[in-house]
Every structure is written in structure tokens, then in C-alpha cells.
Amino acid sequence: MEFENRLEGGVTVVLFKGLRMDAAAAPLFKSNMVDLIHQGAKRFVLDLAAVDFMDSSGLASLMSSMKTLGGAGEIAVCCLSEKVRKLFAITRLDRGVFRIFGTTAEAVAALSAAPTPD
């Protein structure tokens, strides 16, 4: 899986460029997130527009990133395909775990306006 990281308004945007977030892609994503968190990033928007498939490994890598933040930050997701949106709904990760936005701009604006995590 390829992705790019960029900073927008104090929020780290991670843009996924691959079609699949699965067992092959999850370790690279987790490693990227751990590196960013250790560098001090606390607010993330994951732009999943290109992702058409996500399995339990992909979900586990997202949850692992939340655990690495240890409550001292936030991860929002945006631009979900219908398949990925259904997965978030089925697993109830759209209810209090990850905030979901329609666009990257909406997600960045919401996280930028939030109080700074400790």
C-alpha cells in the first residue's frame, strides 16, 4: 500500500493510494502511524477515497494506531467508499471510535477546531 502524509492546519492527513487495506498493507500503515505519533503528531485524518476493500487486518491497524495514541489524540476518517462505510457501521467503529467525514477538508476543519489533546 502506498500513501502520503501531509500537514494541514495542524492535522496530519494520511492519503491512502492503494485499493486494499488488508493483511499485506496493514503492517506498513501501522509502522507509518507509529513513526508519525513518535514524531509528535496527535491529530490524524485518514483519507480512504482510493480504498475499495478493507478486512479485519486493516481495521486492526486502525485500532492499533488509536491505542498508540493512548487517548492523547484523535483519528478521523473520510471519503469512504460504500463498502468501507458499511464495514465501519457493521463493526460499530462509526459510533464513538472514529469520526467519519465526507471530505478531507471537513475532517481537517473539525480536528483543527478541537481543543489540543494532552
Residue ranges of domains in the chain, CATH in brackets? 3-113 (3.30.750.24)
Across the range 5-26, mean pLDDT stands at 95
Question: By CB neighbour count within 10 A (0-12 exposed, 13-18 middle, 19+ buried), where does 31 fall?
Answer: exposed
Q: What is the pLDDT of residues 59-107, one digit of tens each?
A: 999 999 999 999 899 999 999 999 999 999 999 999 989 999 999 999 9
Q: Grid coordinates 460504500 are at which residue?
A: 82
pLDDT of residue 117: 57
The model's confidence at residue 17, banded by pLDDT at 50, 70 and 90, is very high
pLDDT of residue 48: 97
